[in-house]
Structure 1
Amino acid sequence: MRRSTCARLLLLLGTFAVAATIAAQDPPQKPQERDAAEGKTVVELVIQPEASAELVARALRTRVGQPLRAAEVEADLQLLLAKFKLIARCDVEEVENGVRVWFVLEEERTFDRYEFHGLSAFTEREVRTLLGLDVGQRINRRAADQYALTLRERYRRKGHAFVQVRIEEDRSNSVLHFWVDEGPRVKIGRIVYLGNAAYPGWIALRFADNLAGSPRLTSEAAGLLSSTEYSREVLDEDLDRLRVWYRQRGYRDARVEFVGEEYRDDRTVVDLTIRIVEGRRYQVASIDVRFDGDGPSRYPKEDLLALVKSKVGAPYDFLQIEQDQLAIARFYGERGHPREGQFGRGIENAFQVNHPEERCDVEGAEVHRVFPVHEGSPKQLRAVHVRGNTDTQDRIVLRKIFQMPGERLDLLRLERSQNVLDSLRYFSDWQGYGGAKFELLPVEGLPDQVDLAIDVQEGDTGSFLWGGGVSTAFGVQARLQFLKRNFDISRLPSSWNPIDWFGEIGSNKAFHGGGQELSLTAMPGTELSFFDISFFEPDLFKTHMDTIGLRVAAYRRLQSLDSFRSDTLGGELGLQRSFTEELSVGFALRDETVLVRDVQPGAPTLVFDAEGHTEVRGLSANLSFSDVDYPIEPTQGFRVRLGGEFAGGFLGASADFWKVGLNHTQYFRLWKDARDRAHVLRLKSSFDWGGGFGEDENLFLTERFYMGGNTLRGFEQRRAGPFQFGKPTGGEARVLSSLEYGFPLFSTRQQGQLRETEVLRGHLFVDYGMLGLAIHDLGSPRLSYGFGVRVLVPVLEAPLEFDVAWPLLAEDLDQERIFYFSIARF
């Protein structure tokens, strides 16, 4: 006689069935084949225990005289659990003229309390949070089994490969005990790759593609400063990532297999072996563009193919495909074709470039690629609407939009506008991230025109920053700063009670929405103290474009040097005209009183000449041009600034001098790694020249140029250059240059962002400098080299930098500083 179990008949039956031995009449022991039981007539229905038989039988869909159906048995098991709180096992036995069906029932027991034992890696509170349990919550055994599985999975993902979770029932006290045997926490020691001919397993600093870093594997071999917990579940996910990574690089037949694991003596370290069968790397056999849509194409196919960087005969590269799609999209975007989904999805006949269609020739290991393009129709921008700005004036947003109504749409300018608007940090978007949302809207009855809607949400633009800093150049400093972006000096509080002002300022009801900036800073320190209040209005005459900005500042700077102390109290009034976002010219008038005191014996003659009070009044001008991709950490582009100042003379005051300076920084992006992080070569150069006139033969003491510290690493602050009586005198002409190679060390992807945010970057550098008492005295070059790391912390608005440098060229009186560090705030 053949017998079967309904659990084998149903896909999900094992979830509901519990193996339990019931006394009385035993159900069948040997299973019957599924096909033999399905559809046969139920000739007898047996329910155990018999005390529940009558009530349960009335509720079941499975009945005597009816065919046996898998779906009905599954529904019966769910019903017994949901309605009667009974765990059931269904068995089937073939008999004459049909089958006998058994439902073996066990009441689901609920326990009043639960206890965890053996926890070490997690606290009980963490475990309850993980499992979603409340203190004192009643649970049943079925739920406890699921909790045990979840807890075991969490332990294994944390590296406890041998964890065991056992459940013990204390029915007399109605307590469920979870006994956790965590076992050792296992770290990954080595990962051995077999068969990887195309890519090495590891490369120092990950300068090129390698299996350890490029596929972004979570499981990593132990390094100098880190190690990774071993989890087989995570490893399986990494194997899938590695397979995808190989195939994206043209190894479409690649296989990645886990060979095995080998634990060391104490079972806390495991070595892993992974076999890779790379196969052949496919090449691009042909590239074409297909225009979808009616009528002829608007642009020659040859123009689009010229944008494609993938070349016939080159190895297949999935990442290059994305770049080619982007190049085609940018081509159409700057010619007025909005891309489907980029700024909304409501535009009729929008441009699309989909993932290319590919035909593979397995025998020749070749790929034939076709880019399908739906050109759509070009659009004209009719109007721009700002929405959601409850407090910020429209003009503050509109002046950062570089696309004017009436012009042909240009998506590149819209992208740039959005980046500039986001950089203001005035707004938060609807998901809680920083920025504004751009949406193109169709215009009814005008299919060739669109409106631009800019959705914003008022953000927190006022911040009170406090902390401290330390540097080898300026010693220890404290820092207190109140910074209010999007300030409006004309929007006064509604109440005259100063206590109410703070609430209105905090809720953006006062002094908010005008696009201005107010900063109050206090930085007391051991060697340098600085106090400043400044106000900046970027659009004084409300012209929106081609703006003129006003800057007003008052400051005090106290400095304690080796041969004297200086105390500078001053103010500045400046105007800045911004012709474009990149080009600006500025003029400023400053007025200062400088007190030089506590002059030490043996100080340079220049210090004695400047002792006492000196009035400084100067008029300066500068021209700035910046064309970089990212303002904080650029990867390509350049910045240049030309400036000059005239002090004294017809302006009055007691110090007569002039200064000119030229600063240039060029960024070369050498390449990007697999995580789209740039390796950058930075060339920074500056030239400064100044002098006195009239009765002043020399450039005034506090205006002179120095080298060392952050201007010339490897040398002490102000200690590389001319000396008199063993003290630095500074110079009137200076040339500085630095060549720096920067590379990524650690980055993370923040929620809602496509580009990774870099946290730690390393750099190798060479610094060069010359300082002379006059322009004809430039000589005695200094040269240093070294390495360092830069920590980029967004909330600090300034990097933390650590450098180690060694002088190559130095003079006898120069003082070296091997280690240099600067912490802006913490």
Structure 2
Amino acid sequence: MTRNPNRRLLALALAAALAPAAGSTAWAQTADPFALPGQDAAATAGSFVVGDIRIDGLQRISAGTVFTYLPVERGDTMDSARAGEAIRALYKTGFFEDVRLDRQGDILVVTVAERPAINKLTLSGNKDIKTEDLLKGLKEAGLAEGDTFDRLALDRVTQELTRQYNNRGKYNVEITPTVSRLDRNRVDVTIAIKEGKAAKIRHINLIGNEKFGDEEILAGWESREHNWLSWYRRDDQYSREKLSGDLEKLNSWYLDRGYVDVSIDSTQVAISPDRQDMFITAGVTEGDQYKVSSVQVSGDTVLPKEQIERLVLVKPEQIFSRRLLEISSDAIVATLSNVGYAFAQVNPIPDVDRENKTVAINMQVVPGPRVNVRRIVLRGNTRTSDEVIRREMRQFEGSWYSQAAIDRSKIRLQQLGYFETVDVETQPVPGSNDEVDVVFNVKETTSGSFVFGLGYSQLSGLTTQIQLSQTNFLGSGNRVSVQAQRNDYLQRYDFSFVNPYFTDSGVSLGYNLWWREWDYSDFNTAQYSSTSGAGQVVLGLPITETDTVTAMLGIDSNEILTYRGSTPESLIDYIDALGRRTFHSWRAEIGWGRNSLDSYLTPTRGMQQRIWLEATLPGSTVEFYKLNYNISKFWPLSRHFVLNTRAELGYGDSYGDAVSRHLCTTSTGDACNPSAPDYLRTITADGLPFFENFYAGGVRSVRGFTDNTLGPRDTALGSSYQQSIGGAFKTIGSLEMYFPTLLDTPAARVSAFVDVGNVYKDYDSWDAKELRASTGVALMWRSPMGPISISYAFPIKKEDGDELERLQFTFGGTF
């Protein structure tokens, strides 16, 4: 318990008078507290000369520390005033809970009782406030493991925690601190928290609103009355800060609609006796609606005045709107900041004519000094090299400040996918009013993945898989991926490398190498197998900030193995018509892409689209082409809700001549006598090769349907089992709404979606009636163990024979 030092001085004097130590002389045994027995008080004048100082009672604190704070040294004259000063100085250190001064001859004896040290600090029961945030706050308040324990500090912390929980609407919170004494003058401090349930807002009542209804005004409030979605949105939980923001919204609501004289007269918050229900009442006086009489721009506009005036959205005869004023001011500030005026200000000065109910507005422009960027400072990039970040900068050191260039630099860093967050701050240079440093604070995220798998089944035998990918290899910004997988039905070895800055201008160069043995029946497609290998060179050329042209040239070989009685007959006919099973190709690709997304990991606005043409060159075994188009656009509907519209189109065909052959086979597929016309038939190899077909269904296209099972099907000779063979024309569309998550992290997103799509034999076979559709919910989470995508879908348009799979997920490991 902390004691008042002045009262302590009195208590010490009384104790010294009543209980002198054996063999010593205490303070108050004579008229002079420091006089020896029989000594004349007048002669000593209430003092003695300190010949030596002894410290008693120390355990953890060294005597040197005490001497550092003690304002008395050998040879000093000690009296009552100096004693009080010494005691106050030692108490002020916070190290001691008891201090006593005694005298033995000319020795000043300082007896102290140390405050205990905090051995362990434990928190329990806290869910609404993170433990790390609480520990940080406790440390700032003087409570941390290893620190000296202060009961007063613990009491203050208890009161502050109670206040914070009350502000979050939890009025039944119970905070119980426990202090356990240990040996060696130590204590364990435990703070047990019973948060209880947050009080729910049962009713919000607005008084005085005659022009607008309650429902219309309250639509934008964060505080809501208890409703059926409150369990998810938690908008019915009372918070003082949230209510303050809502009252500001109420004021803005009227100001944005011309009610200049609006005032919020009163706010009352009532709580039920059981502290579970909240009732909010706000009184408002609306006043009259005002119009804009005139608008002018004044001050130093820097740029031509006409250019600045075009940015002003407020016009005469309009209903006054503070929001339009703010948008106009922000537009002018942004324009000036792009030409170096980083501290530009626009002060809208209204002249209110209450008699005529009009407002004249003067937009006063104060540009401030033109600012130069001295340095660009990077912080937080522990793995990523500075060069990788600096090459994305569009704001340069030594150039004029440009807010647009800084914003674009931030977006380019977010698009890399290396960072979970990117924050920018502008710091003025001390002693200079025309220079700033621009600081980019990044928080790195996992940019690689490592997957290792080992298993056994009767179907595929022993399976091993190793996959290693890194989009920011060794912090260089290069992308490297290596994969090896092997079992009885599959062998796969892949390697890819991309240097996104092969040249300083941003030209990228990459290489792909692979060798694979596939049994496609394992992928829900037709039963055939292939052995393929390829080598490719990929080039990327940026043409604008958002647009890139890509080109690829490669050579590949693909051997197809079919099995009569297992492989669909149409696929066997294609192989037989060509008279070969090995296909060699020179393959080329040209594409264009545009990316204006604001983030690679969790975009909220912008568009990403790509169109590319892939074709085998003349002289290849099969001459064909494939045209693909993907687009994804994000629409921010509000601060919390984002809509994603997505579409995929794919079309392929051959451009060479069709190949036909006449075959004579029996009903079992065996060769027959050509003179038997009943078994003579013509087979043709035309169109897109079946091993290049598009597929649909699954977590990456139409969720709720099994992977690769939508589209055309065929049967093997002598079998009725329908096998998916894909098609040459693909159409996929999706609407997906992203919601705020219960997990307090930007790495997680919850969504509701509607997927539509299918695959068709060719373009002429397209039929809207054959489209499949599903709806459901999904969770995307960049967990510490890797990216996880989980969806649960309900097919809303399906046909008999469709293979359904409502719960689908993908996951991987990260490092």
TM-score for the superposition, normalised by structure 2: 0.64
Match of 1:223 in 2: 230
Counterpart Cα distance in 2 of 1:244 and 1:529 = 64
Counterpart of 1:280, as a letter, is: E
Instruction: Check the 8 A contact 2:730/2:760 in 1, yes or no.
Output: yes
Structure 1 range deviating more: 456-465 or 139-148: 456-465
**In the TM superposition, what is the alpha-carbon distance from 1:623 to its structure 2 partner?**
2.0
After TM superposition, the structure 1 = structure 2 runs for residues 647-658 of structure 1, keeping only pairs within 5 Å, are 647=616, 649-651=618-620, 654=621, 656-658=622-624
Instruction: Label 1:288 to 1:455 Cα distance change in 2 as closer, same or farther (>3 A).
Output: same
Cα-to-partner distance string for 1:447-468 (whole Å, 9 max, x where unaligned): 9xx9998989998997453478
Specify the structure having the higher radius of gyration (Cα).
2
User: 2:249 matched to 1:245?
Assistant: yes
Out of 726, 733, 739, the residue aligned to residue 728 of structure 2 is: 733
**In the TM superposition, what is the alpha-carbon distance from 1:518 to its structure 2 partner?**
2.0
Unaligned runs of 5+ in 1: 1-12, 26-48, 59-73, 89-106, 342-351, 470-474, 488-507, 751-756
**In the TM superposition, what is the alpha-carbon distance from 1:714 to its structure 2 partner?**
4.3
Counterpart Cα distance in 1 of 2:774 and 2:707 = 16
After TM superposition, the structure 1 = structure 2 runs for residues 99-498 of structure 1, keeping only pairs within 5 Å, are 121=125, 130=138, 133=143, 139=149, 142=152, 145-146=155-156, 149=159, 159=170, 161=172, 163=174, 165=176, 185-195=196-206, 209-212=220-223, 223-224=230-231, 235-250=239-254, 253-254=263-264, 257-262=267-272, 270-280=276-286, 285-286=291-292, 288=295, 290-293=297-300, 298-301=303-306, 303-308=308-313, 313-314=318-319, 316=321, 323-334=327-338, 337-340=339-342, 352-354=344-346, 356-357=348-349, 370-375=362-367, 400-401=392-393, 411-421=403-413, 423-424=415-416, 463=448, 465-466=450-451, 481-485=467-471
- Paired residues, what number? 674
Out of 523, 527, 544, the residue aligned to residue 580 of structure 1 is: 544
Instruction: Check the 8 A contact 1:282/1:315 in 2, yes or no.
Output: no
Counterpart Cα distance in 1 of 2:736 and 2:404 = 30
After TM superposition, the structure 1 = structure 2 runs for residues 526-605 of structure 1, keeping only pairs within 5 Å, are 531-540=493-502, 542=503, 544-545=504-505, 547=507, 549-556=509-516, 558=518, 559=520, 560-562=522-524, 563-564=526-527, 566-578=529-541, 579-581=543-545, 582-596=547-561, 601=566, 603-605=568-570
**In the TM superposition, what is the alpha-carbon distance from 1:684 to its structure 2 partner?**
1.6
Counterpart of 1:588, as a letter, is: L
Counterpart Cα distance in 1 of 2:265 and 2:401 = 47
Instruction: Check the 8 A contact 2:263/2:286 in 1, yes or no.
Output: yes
Instruction: Label 1:152 to 1:87 Cα distance change in 2 as closer, same or farther (>3 A).
Output: farther
Unaligned runs of 5+ in 2: 15-26, 35-45, 48-83, 100-110, 256-261, 455-459, 660-684, 716-720
**In the TM superposition, what is the alpha-carbon distance from 1:703 to its structure 2 partner?**
0.9
Q: Secondary structure at the match of 2:408?
A: helix
**In the TM superposition, what is the alpha-carbon distance from 1:182 to its structure 2 partner?**
6.6
Counterpart of 2:803, as a letter, is: Q
Counterpart Cα distance in 2 of 1:24 and 1:406 = 70
**In the TM superposition, what is the alpha-carbon distance from 1:109 to its structure 2 partner?**
7.6
Instruction: Check the 8 A contact 1:531/1:557 in 2, yes or no.
Output: no
Counterpart Cα distance in 2 of 1:17 and 1:599 = 104
Instruction: Label 1:804 to 1:463 Cα distance change in 2 as closer, same or farther (>3 A).
Output: closer
Counterpart Cα distance in 1 of 2:199 and 2:150 = 37
Instruction: Label 1:327 to 1:526 Cα distance change in 2 as closer, same or farther (>3 A).
Output: farther
After TM superposition, the structure 1 = structure 2 runs for residues 738-749 of structure 1, keeping only pairs within 5 Å, are 738-746=733-741
Instruction: Check the 8 A contact 1:401/1:417 in 2, yes or no.
Output: yes
Instruction: Label 1:634 to 1:535 Cα distance change in 2 as closer, same or farther (>3 A).
Output: same
Out of 461, 468, 482, the residue aligned to residue 520 of structure 1 is: 482
Counterpart Cα distance in 1 of 2:423 and 2:181 = 57
Instruction: Label 1:301 to 1:363 Cα distance change in 2 as closer, same or farther (>3 A).
Output: same
Instruction: Label 1:119 to 1:807 Cα distance change in 2 as closer, same or farther (>3 A).
Output: closer
Out of 788, 799, 802, the residue aligned to residue 814 of structure 1 is: 802
Counterpart of 2:243, as a letter, is: L
**In the TM superposition, what is the alpha-carbon distance from 1:734 to its structure 2 partner?**
1.5
User: 2:593 matched to 1:625?
Assistant: yes
Instruction: Check the 8 A contact 2:421/2:443 in 1, yes or no.
Output: no
Counterpart of 1:374, as a letter, is: V
Tell me the C-alpha RMSD between the 2 structures. Answer: 6.2
Instruction: Label 1:661 to 1:354 Cα distance change in 2 as closer, same or farther (>3 A).
Output: same
Instruction: Label 1:530 to 1:119 Cα distance change in 2 as closer, same or farther (>3 A).
Output: same
Q: Secondary structure at the match of 2:231?
A: coil
Structure 1 range deviating more: 194-203 or 243-252: 194-203
Counterpart Cα distance in 2 of 1:151 and 1:794 = 31
Counterpart of 1:724, as a letter, is: D
Counterpart of 1:254, as a letter, is: I
Instruction: Label 1:82 to 1:713 Cα distance change in 2 as closer, same or farther (>3 A).
Output: closer
Instruction: Label 1:742 to 1:369 Cα distance change in 2 as closer, same or farther (>3 A).
Output: farther
Counterpart Cα distance in 2 of 1:479 and 1:17 = 76
**In the TM superposition, what is the alpha-carbon distance from 1:533 to its structure 2 partner?**
1.4
Instruction: Check the 8 A contact 1:527/1:561 in 2, yes or no.
Output: no
Counterpart Cα distance in 2 of 1:358 and 1:395 = 49
Counterpart Cα distance in 2 of 1:790 and 1:51 = 81
Match of 2:766 in 1: 778
**In the TM superposition, what is the alpha-carbon distance from 1:81 to its structure 2 partner?**
5.0
Instruction: Check the 8 A contact 1:714/1:807 in 2, yes or no.
Output: no
Instruction: Label 1:441 to 1:227 Cα distance change in 2 as closer, same or farther (>3 A).
Output: closer
Out of 641, 644, 647, the residue aligned to residue 610 of structure 2 is: 641
Counterpart of 1:519, as a letter, is: S
Cα-to-partner distance string for 1:111-133 (whole Å, 9 max, x where unaligned): 7699999996379x999984755
**In the TM superposition, what is the alpha-carbon distance from 1:796 to its structure 2 partner?**
8.1
Q: Secondary structure at the match of 2:479?
A: strand
The percent identity for this pair of structures is: 14
Cα-to-partner distance string for 1:198-239 (whole Å, 9 max, x where unaligned): 686899xx9x623337xxx9x999933586998xxx833333
After TM superposition, the structure 1 = structure 2 runs for residues 603-618 of structure 1, keeping only pairs within 5 Å, are 603-606=568-571, 614-618=582-586
